[in-house]
Amino acid sequence: MIIKIDISLIKNNKYEKNGLNVKENKFKKLMHLYSLAMKNVEEKVNSINQDYHEIYESDLINHVVCRLKTPESIIKKMVRKNYELTYPNLIENINDIAGVRIVCPFKSNIFEVVDIIKEFDDCRVIREKDYITNPKKTGYSSYHMIIEVPVELDKTKLYAKVEIQIRTMAMDFWATLEHEIKYKSTGEITKKMSKDLILYAKIINKIDHKLMKLHRKKYKRKFELSE
pLDDT tens digits, 48-102:
999 999 998 889 999 999 999 999 999 999 999 999 999 999 999 999 999 999 9
Radius of gyration (C-alpha) of the chain in whole angstroms: 20
Average pLDDT, the chain: 87
Strand partners, 180: none
Q: Is residue 145 part of a domain?
A: yes
Domain annotation covers residue 203:
no
Q: Dump pLDDT digits (tens) for 171-218.
A: 999 999 999 988 876 778 899 999 999 999 999 999 999 999 988 887
Does residue 200 sit within a domain?
no
Residue 222 lies inside a defined structural domain of this protein: no
CATH number of the CATH domain containing 44: 3.30.460.10
In this prediction, residue 204 carries a pLDDT of 94
Specify if 83 maps to a domain. yes
Is residue 9's pLDDT more than 90? no
Phi, psi angles (nearest 5°) of residue 148: -100, 130
Residue 47 lies in a domain: yes
Identity of residue 155: K
Give pLDDT, residue 14: 38
Asked if residue 163 has pLDDT above 60, the reply is yes
Domain count, the chain: 1
Residue 143 lies in a domain: yes
What's the pLDDT score for residue 7?
46
Domain range spanning residue 78?
Answer: 2-168
Mean per-residue pLDDT, 160-169? 98
Q: Are 26 and 12 in contact (CB under 8 A)?
A: yes
Inside any domain, residue 185: no
Residue 154 banded pLDDT, cuts 50, 70, 90: confident
Task: Using CB atoms within 10 Å of the CB of residue 57, give its burial: 0 to 12 exposed, 13 to 18 middle, 19+ buried.
Answer: exposed
User: What pLDDT shows up at residue 227?
Assistant: 52
Which has the higher per-residue pLDDT, 56 or 45? 45
